[in-house]
A and B are shown apart, each in its own frame.
Chain A
Amino acid sequence: MPRPAQRSRSFIKKRVNTPGGRAVIHYVKKKPSPARCGSCRKPLHGVPSDLPAGIKKLTKTGRRPDRPYGGNLCPPCTRDVVKRKNIERWENA
């Protein structure tokens, strides 16, 4: 029987073979879903999904790409934003 804290549905039951030859169940916490683009809703690259304890160990550059709007928008969407800003800036002048 699992202990009461492990009976929640936020745990995944993972079957593991021990060196002693037994099969044992490990209760592993679920990972969060992958990050998505803010405008087009496609999954983002370069943004790892993990529990906060795992992400805190990463460096600043290991958490998001080194581009403007890095962990926020996908590359095609950033291109659109940069182009639109450029056009607006030179329209009035």
Chain B
Amino acid sequence: MLNVGRICVKTAGREAGKFCVIVDVLEDGFVLVTGPKVVTSVKRRKCNVDHLEPTPEVIKIDKNASDDAVMGAYKKNDVFGKMKVEQPTAKDIESAKESERKRLAMKKEEPKAKPAEKKPEAKVEKKEEKKEPHKEKKTEKKEAEKKKPEKKPAKKPASKKSAKAKGKKK
């Protein structure tokens, strides 16, 4: 029953009650499935066979067919009429593709930008604060201490000692 091209109905999860097409059969009772997302809100991902209810409808699709190929097969076999679903307009399809491109572009930019900005700012602030009030000898010692352990937790005890030394001298 569960072969490539079979239309099924999802019984569990957020997408329960919506239909989808089997695109590939995987091991251990899993199956690759798409709506596609523009027609029904079912994304292209794997699904457990226990959470699917097959229907007597079958479509001719290649293995691992893209969403565009699936839409073409839907139009040929009149799936929209049989499953009583509205056909998405060209505007809906284009807007869905644009939003996906933006989402992928945002993902690539965010993780690279954040860690690079934080580290140099933190280091510069600490060095400037310590050098100004102290004498030259102590700056040399602290620079040597900083160079040896370059990790962040090692720097924290050095800052505490410097703060105590400031209080004692004054």
CB of A66 within 8 Å of the partner chain: yes
Chain B residues near A86: list those with CB within 8 A. Answer: 9, 53, 55
Chain B residues near A79: list those with CB within 8 A. Answer: 11-12, 16
Smallest Cβ-Cβ distance to B57: which chain A residue: A90
For this complex, 12 residue pairs linking A to B, each with C-beta atoms less than 8 Å apart, are A66-B14, A67-B13, A68-B17, A75-B12, A78-B12, A78-B16, A79-B12, A79-B16, A82-B11, A82-B53, A83-B53, A85-B17
Q: A87–B51 Cα gap in the complex (Å)?
A: 15
What 5 new A-B contacts, CB under 8 Å, besides A82-B9, A82-B16?
A67-B14, A67-B16, A78-B11, A82-B11, A83-B53
Tally A residues with Cβ within 8 Å of B: 11
Q: Measuring CB to CB, which residues of chain A are less than 8 angstroms from any residue of chain B?
A: 66-68, 75, 78-79, 82-83, 85-86, 90
> Distance (Å) between the CB of A87 and the closest chain B CB?
8
Chain B residues near A78: list those with CB within 8 A. Answer: 11-12, 16
